[in-house]
Structure 1
Amino acid sequence: MTATPRQESDRVARSVPGVLLLPLLVALVLPAAFASGGTRRWFGGRGEAQRAEAQGAKDAAAEAFYELDTAQRDVRISVETITAVDDSPAARRALTDFEALGRRIDEVSHRYIQAVDAHDLDRVDLEASAASRARADLTAAKDELVRVKQELDRFAQGLGPLLGKAETQLARLAPAVERARQALLAASNALDGVRGSGLKADDLAARLAALGPELTRLNQGAGQHGVQQTLERAERVTREAAAVRAEAERLPEKAAEIDRRLVSLRTRAEALTTRAGQVEPVLSELRRRFAAACWQDLQHVPEQAVENVRRAELELRQAQGARDAQRWADATTLLSTVRALLNTTDEAVSAAGERLRRLNAVQKDPEQEIERTRFAIRDAQRLAMAGRTTPDPRHARPLDDSVARLERAIATLEGRHPDYWHFLTETEAVRQAVAQVVARIREERGTGH
């Protein structure tokens, strides 16, 4: 019996594998969908190319956004490094410029995000015109991102000198802090060593204790106190701790030196007491043999010497007490006062004996003093005339005055009781005036005047 068309169709369907039925169904459904006016779906051709271009624009914009974001983070680190170290006008201006750039970056980033949110390129029913608009918007966003990054790159290049200076200071930070710690440790060890020898060194201990809060601030770090301030603090602590250490190490030697000075000055005071007792016989001889003008200024030397020695001995006892209490600065000051008193006394006591010696010499032979002064004048006159036919009035006048002054001094030797001391002081003054003329001539000729 011959099969009907329907039966034949059923047979074919039963004999074809199930996987082949889907294309068949699609082929049957598609014409019906277009014919019934349903949603249009498109694949391939120009529409797919528009979608691909839009997606490419989106990817390019995303890459530009990522590069800008990365660059901004890097530059922010540089700016923060600079401002942490540098408070100069240039550094403050760099921060202001970076903040302005940040606002510009925020604006273009916002427009980029808006462009991304405005276009869903994964929609199945994306129109070709929508894909084209998406590509245009995303490309514009990308171009803005690129332009701002170029501005950021130029700004970063301009930071070079400031950043280099800041990084140099940061590189100094850790070593500086470590040096301060080591200096404090060395000072503490030196102080312990001094105390172990029986010296108190209370003033040094107080100075070292005062550095304790500074060490705490150094340990808190530059993040809390600033890089520049921390560097300055570290250098100050290092310097002051080194000074404490040096003084501590010198303290035993200082104590020994003070002990030596106490003994030496005590011995010198005793010797001056003996010498001061010899001044009165010298004054007696001066009074007996020479005019009053020759010795009047020495009248009070004996009692002044006794008073100075008495004061020196009192200061010595106080210095000994300061040394026993280990008040080194007070002991040193007191010993300096003693030394000044003894020097003054020594000069006064010596002056009496020297006065008698010089007066004896000039009384015996005044010509020696006269000739010595005339020689100085003649030597200066020869120098003034060297290379000249007439002397310079600036040099000749004071030399002529010196000749006249010497003659007047010589005249004072006449009479029954000559003032030999006035004569000696005058001849010495003449020689000093002549020496000044000689020095001026040599200076002028040395400079070509």
Structure 2
Amino acid sequence: MLMLLPVPLLAAALPAAFAGGGTRRWFGGRGESQRAEAQAAKDAAASAFYELDTAQRDLRISIETITAVDSSPAARGAVDDFAALGRRIDEASHTYITAVDAHDLDRDDLEPSVASRARSELTTAREELVRVKAELDRFAQGLGPLLGSAETQLARLAPAVERARQALLGASNALDAVRASGLRADDLAARLAALAPELTKLNQGAGRHGVTETLQRADRVLRDAEAVRSEADKLPERAAEIDHRLVSLRTRAQALTTRAGSVEPVLSELRRRFSAACWQDLQPVPEQAAVNVRQAEEKLKEAAQARDEQRWADATSRLSTVRALLNATDEAVSAAGERLHRLDDVAKDPQQEIQRTRFAVRDAQRLAMDGRSTPDPRHARPLDDAVARLDRAVAALDGRHPDYWHFLTETEAVRRTAARVVSEIREERGAGA
């Protein structure tokens, strides 16, 4: 049986029915539109806040990357600028959070004026977040060079440390191989042991010692370990070379002892046939040769002892001294025989030496006159002096006991002068070309 309710009660029940049992107040179209606009402003502000927060987090990682590697004024300045930006971000975020907390857009009794004010405040907060985000983006772009350099160093870090470790392992293995062959290599072992504290610091990592210092340490350990390994690899060859040099220099010392014995007969011949000026400077040669050979033999014994004790640097040093002594002795002994030979030749026919020297001077004179009507005084004067010097040397041969050695030294000096002038002329003309 249908019952008809009074009209006032029906009218009162309709809003509740359409409201689904809730208590939301019914605005009409404009109220809901303002709520929607406020909600859209809130969503846009939230998106801007999220983007800014994400960008700040990413940039903080970049700053931490830079500070881990770089302590330059530019890097410190970037840290300060990022801190200032952080304060701007905090201010903009506070404005946004305050606006969100101030307005509950889901309230049933939200007034249109309140929704409008919320939309305005949230829009302002979003605009500020966007401005700060733009500042952050510009700052991030400016960090490019610093960040690139820092990332490059960080990328080098792990491979550099690993290379240093492998170099130490290689040096240790090379040292073990050398010792197995019977060579002690104590100095190399000490150098390798000195790298142990450096390896400990490498293992402690860049977090404790810094990226730059760790990279430098890794490079230093790599260089030193490779040097130890290289020397260890060469040590057997070095020992064999020292053994060979010991035998070779002993043989040479013995040969020079025999050759030094021939100097006295040569001096006797020089004294018999030529003036004192031709041989006086050679008088000390026999005694000095004997002294040098004795010293060389003593150094050879010291070198042999150093070799037996595997003091390689000392052995090499002693052998270098022996070689220098024997070279000096060889030159002095050879000089006596060469002196006699040259004096013999010039005494028999001085004209060959004279013509050789005159040709050198004339050749220089022709070059000095080439393309000129008169020679340059810088070239003519030394050549004229050389001609006069040669004439005096030739004239000195007319005496009863000519000093042939003086004659030979004079002709050599004249040829050196001519050669120097020729060299100067060619350099000047080459520069002019």
Give the TM-score normalised by the residue count of structure 1: 0.89
Mean CA deviation greater in 305-314 or 219-228: 219-228
**Separation in 1, partners of 2:99, 2:422:** 97
Deviations 1:301-322 (A, max 9, x none): 1111111111111111111111
- Measured in 2, the distance between the counterparts of 1:180 and 1:322 equals 33
Residue aligning to 2:125: 141
Letter in 2 for 1:27: A
- Per-residue CA deviations over 1:6-25 (Å, capped at 9, x if unaligned) read xxxxx867xx9xxx9xx958
Residue by residue over 1:175-197, the C-alpha shift from the partner in whole angstroms, topping out at 9 and shown as x without a partner, is: 22222222111111111111110
Taking the TM superposition and a 5 Å limit, the aligned residue runs for 1:159-174 are 159-174=143-158
Deviation, structure 1 residue 70: 0.3
Aligned to 1:384: 368
- Corresponding residue number in structure 1 for 2:52: 68
2:20 match: none
Within the alignment, does 1:101 sit opposite 2:101 as a pair?
Answer: no
Q: Quick one: which of 353, 356, 364 aligns to 2:348? A: 364
CA distance in 2, matches of 1:129, 1:365: 132
Aligned partners of 1:279 and 1:256: how far apart in 2?
35
1:55 aligned residue (39, 49, 52): 39
Separation in 2, partners of 1:74, 1:288: 100
- Kept in 1, the 8 Å contact 2:368–2:379? The answer is yes
Q: Name the structure 2 match of 1:35.
A: none
2:329 to 330, 339, 345: 345
1:290 aligns with 2:266: no
1:256 aligns with 2:240: yes
Structure 2 CA distance for partners of 1:54 and 1:258, relative to 1, 3 Å: same
Q: 1:248 to 1:26 in 2, by over 3 A?
A: farther
- Of 377-386 and 430-439, deviating more is 377-386
Q: Give the structure 1 partner of residue 164 of structure 2.
A: 180
Q: Which range moves more in the overlay, 359-368 or 89-98?
A: 89-98
CA offsets 1:418-447 (integer angstroms, 9 cap, x no match): 111111111100000010011111112222
- 2:320 match: 336
Query: Residues 122 and 303 (structure 1 numbering): CA distance in 2 closer, same or farther, change over 3 Å?
Result: same
Cα shift readout 1:347-391 (whole Å, capped 9, x = no counterpart) = 111111111111121112111111111111111112222222322
Rounded Cα–Cα distance in structure 2 between residues aligned with 1:28 and 1:427: 142
Segment drifting more, 432-441 vs 378-387: 378-387
Moved more, 186-195 or 235-244: 235-244
Say yes or no: does 1:410 pair with 2:394. Answer: yes
Shift of 1:394: 1.8
User: Residues 188 and 25 from structure 1, CA distance in 2 versus in 1: closer, same or farther, beyond 3 angstroms?
Assistant: farther
Unaligned runs of 5+ in 2: 17-22
More divergent stretch after superposition (114-123 vs 251-260): 114-123
Find out whether 1:375 has 2:359 as its counterpart: yes
2:210 counterpart residue number: 226
Range that drifts further, 74-83 or 403-412: 74-83
What is the DSSP-based 3-state SS (H/G/I as helix, E as strand, rest coil) of the residue aligned with 1:447?
helix
**Separation in 1 of the partners of 2:284 and 2:319?**
25
Is residue 444 of structure 1 aligned with residue 428 of structure 2?
A: yes
Deviation of residue 28 (structure 1)?
6.7
Contact 2:304 2:315 in 1 (8 A): yes
Contact 2:24 2:108 in 1 (8 A): no
Aligned residue identity for 2:306: A
Map of 2:201 onto structure 1: 217
**1:126 to partner: Cα distance:** 3.0
CA 155–321 in structure 1, closer or farther in 2 if over 3 Å, else same:
same
Secondary structure of the corresponding residue to residue 413 of structure 1: helix
* Alpha-carbon separation, structure 2, partners of 1:223 and 1:158: 26
Aligned pair 1:426/2:410, yes or no? Answer: yes
**Aligned partners of 1:295, 1:288: CA distance in 2, in Å?**
10
Q: 1:178, 1:25 → 2: CA distance?
A: 86
The aligned length equals: 426
CA distance in 1, matches of 2:229, 2:10: 100
Give 1:171 shift: 2.1
Q: CA deviation at 1:42?
A: 4.2
SS in 1 for 2:397: coil
Report deviation, 1:405. Answer: 0.2
Distance 1:25 1:213, change over 3 A: farther
Give me the whole-angstrom Cα distance separating, in 1, the residues matched to 2:38 and 2:356: 115
Cα deviation, residue 170, structure 1: 2.2
**Equivalent position to 2:257, from 266, 273, 288:** 273
Report SS of the residue matched to 1:123: coil
Question: What letter corresponds to residue 437 of structure 1 in structure 2?
Answer: V
Matched residue type, 2:261: G
2:12 maps to which of 24, 27, 42: 27
* TM-score of the superposed pair, with normalisation by structure 2: 0.92
- What is the rounded CA distance, in whole Å, between the counterparts of 2:249 and 2:408 in structure 1? 34
Shift of 1:275: 1.5
Counterpart secondary structure, 1:418: coil
RMSD over aligned Cα atoms = 2.5
Q: CA deviation at 1:43?
A: 4.1
Q: Is the 8 A contact 2:65 2:151 kept in 1?
A: yes
CA–CA distance in 2 between the matches of 1:334 and 1:327? Answer: 11
Distance 1:297 1:25 in 2: 148
Q: Is the 8 A contact 2:38 2:119 kept in 1?
A: yes
* Deviation (angstroms), 1:29: 11
Using the TM superposition, give the Cα deviation of residue 230 of structure 1 relative to its aligned residue in structure 2, in angstroms.
2.1
Match of 1:197 in 2: 181
Aligned to 1:92: 76
From the superposition, tell whether residues 24 and 324 of structure 1 become closer, same or farther in structure 2 (CA, over 3 Å).
farther
* 1:40 to 1:344, Cα distance in 2 relative to 1, 3 A: closer
- What code does the residue aligned with 1:236 have? R
Aligned to 1:127: 111
